[in-house]
């Protein structure tokens, strides 16, 4: 299958962008007022937003349904409240998932009055509609992703938080020169790589900070850190 591999490259500077003052956000896929018909989704991956929220600001209570929503703070903290009764603070080193299912209301706020928060918010189409809403949040040891791929999201929750989809998210913080392969979980799977910091090559293709690369029709990909780097791999079904 390796010879049939297909690729889609999304340079960081081709993302949608909106600066609302309190929120400075970049969209890898069509979102809100930014619509690109060629950037609607990658398989079941629907949204990848790179958000910077100012001190004390946030999203007021709003609804979601039939979507798996993963939040990964990169710097700072985010306060979450929802109609399921969950109230929590998500910190750097933690991953949160909210399965919106039949419908849920939630709010997200930067609780710090002096420091901003930077986070990724990722939406995934679920494997079934109208599921019972659910919530999970886990902390991870940063050392576990050093020159490794640490699984933080998985379908059964055996590794990381549980998602209602045939999807795996992995984080890696690599030293320059580290190389590793990633094996996909089946023929109909694809993987979307997003470079958080530094530079990597994937199957010989060079990616810089905040670049994205989707790969499918392959059983594995080869990754090498061109310099010290942090990367997020999101494996998802291409059909669901």
pLDDT (tens digit per residue) in 174-190: 999 999 999 999 999 99
Residue 3 is predicted with a pLDDT of 60
Please tell me the chain's helix, strand, coil percentages from 3-state DSSP, rounded to the nearest 5: 5, 55, 40
Among residues 191, 185, 90, which one has the least CA distance to residue 137?
90
Domain definitions of the chain by residue range? 2-237
pLDDT in tens, 64-91: 999 999 999 999 999 999 999 999 999 9
Residue 144 is predicted with a pLDDT of 97
pTM: 0.96
User: Over the chain, what is the mean pLDDT?
Assistant: 97
Among residues 66, 46, 63, 67, which one has the least CA distance to residue 130?
66
CATH tag, 2-237: 2.60.120.10
Looking up tokens 């890696």 gives 172
Tokens found for residue 98: 């909210």
pLDDT in tens, 19-69: 999 999 999 999 999 999 999 999 999 999 999 999 999 999 999 999 999
**Segment 105-127 mean pLDDT:** 97
The yes-or-no verdict on residue 1 having pLDDT over 50 is no
Residue 44 is predicted with a pLDDT of 98
Residue 76 is predicted with a pLDDT of 96
**Segment 190-207 mean pLDDT:** 98
Q: For 1, which DSSP code?
A: -
The yes-or-no verdict on residue 2 having pLDDT over 70 is no
**Segment 137-157 mean pLDDT:** 97
Q: Are 119 and 71 in contact (CB under 8 A)?
A: yes
The yes-or-no verdict on residue 142 having pLDDT over 50 is yes
């Amino acid at each position: 299958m390796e010879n049939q591999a297909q690729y889609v490259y999304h340079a960081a500077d081709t993302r949608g962008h909106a600066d609302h003052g309190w929120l400075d956000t970049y969209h890898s896929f069509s979102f809100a007022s930014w619509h690109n018909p060629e950037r609607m989704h990658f398989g079941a991956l629907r949204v990848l937003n790179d958000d910077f929220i100012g001190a004390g600001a946030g999203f007021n209570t709003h609804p979601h349904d039939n979507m798996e929503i993963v939040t990964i703070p990169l710097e700072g903290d985010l306060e979450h409240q929802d109609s399921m009764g969950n109230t929590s603070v998500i910190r750097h080193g933690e991953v949160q998932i909210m399965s919106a299912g039949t419908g849920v209301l939630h709010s997200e706020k930067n609780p710090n009055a002096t420091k901003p928060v930077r986070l990724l918010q990722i939406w995934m189409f679920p494997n079934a509609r109208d599921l019972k809403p659910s919530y999970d949040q886990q902390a991870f040891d940063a050392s576990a992703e050093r020159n490794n791929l640490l699984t933080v999201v998985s379908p059964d929750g055996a590794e990381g938080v549980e998602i209602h989809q045939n999807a795996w998210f992995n984080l890696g913080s690599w030293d320059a020169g580290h190389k590793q392969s990633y094996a996909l979980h089946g023929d109909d799977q694809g993987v979307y790589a997003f470079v958080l910091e530094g530079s990597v090559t994937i199957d010989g293709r060079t990616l810089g900070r905040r670049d994205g690369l989707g790969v499918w029709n392959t059983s594995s990909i080869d990754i090498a850190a061109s310099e010290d780097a942090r990367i997020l791999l999101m494996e998802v079904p291409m059909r669901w």
